[in-house]
A and B are shown apart, each in its own frame.
Chain A
């Protein structure tokens, strides 16, 4: 069965420090992978996606992610974190089912940013 694992429940970084959030997936075929961010009291905002091609994808707000098939990973990175990046981050894989893509989410990683 398809699944997504985000090993880190909470991460705290200092403002200006680099960030890497881990995501591992289990999927039989070539996956469609996504990162979403959920700020307090907000819905989910799509940060970036990977479907095919270049394994390093750029997203909004200065985020990027790298798809590594050999490691079944899709880690999210940002070179310099801003206080406004404090939020919950969800990795998701799309599972084709019945003609549409069903999103399977990881448990999420809550990011705190120290000033």
Chain B
């Protein structure tokens, strides 16, 4: 398995601002994923970040709103731009272990937009 950390663990932000969430893995991984978990809801995949290429976004998510960086095999960032209260969610990153197809998740970032 992998040890995954996220920063910040939580934040309260004002509408119209942006927040960048960091995800650090203790091993080199090819695939990293960003999920959103809205209050009381399940997880929805935002995008997939493959090192060295542009992120692939799921339907309903766009790069202008959720820009992603993947500068190396152990790190990724997700920015939530021009935030509104509807963006209040937990944002989780995950990594896929290529050999086993298992995905491991970070602890999440709890975002509240006021």
How close is A50's CB to chain B, nearest CB, in angstroms?
11
Pairwise interchain contact A44-B92, C-beta atoms closer than 8 A: yes
Given contacts A43-B107, A44-B92, contact A100 B102 (CB under 8 A): no
Q: Count how many chain B residues have C-beta atoms less than 8 Å from C-beta atoms of the other chain.
A: 24
Bound state CA distance, A44 and B106, in angstroms? 7
Q: What are the interface flags for A63-98 relative to B under an 8 Å C-beta threshold, 1 for contact and 0 otherwise?
A: 000000000000000000000000000100010001
Return the contact of A44 from the options B1, B45, B105 (Cβ within 8 A): B105
Which residue on chain A has the smallest CB distance to residue B30? A100
- Across the two chains, which residue of chain B brings its CB closest to A94? B101
**A102 neighbours in B (Cβ, 8 Å):** 33, 45, 48
Q: Residue of B at shortest CB range from A42?
A: B107
- Interface band, chain A: 20 to 34
Least Cβ distance of B103 to chain A in Å? Answer: 6
In the complex, which residues 18-77 of chain A have their Cβ closer than 8 Å to any Cβ of chain B? 32, 34, 36, 42-46, 49, 51
A46 B48 Cβ-Cβ under 8 A: no
Q: Which residues of B contact A (CB under 8 A)?
A: 1, 4, 31, 33, 41-45, 48, 50, 56, 92, 94, 96, 100-108
Q: Could you pull out 21 A-B pairs where Cβ atoms are within 8 angstroms? A: A34-B102, A43-B4, A43-B92, A43-B107, A43-B108, A44-B92, A44-B94, A45-B105, A46-B102, A51-B101, A98-B48, A98-B56, A100-B31, A101-B101, A102-B45, A103-B45, A105-B42, A105-B43, A105-B44, A106-B42, A107-B42
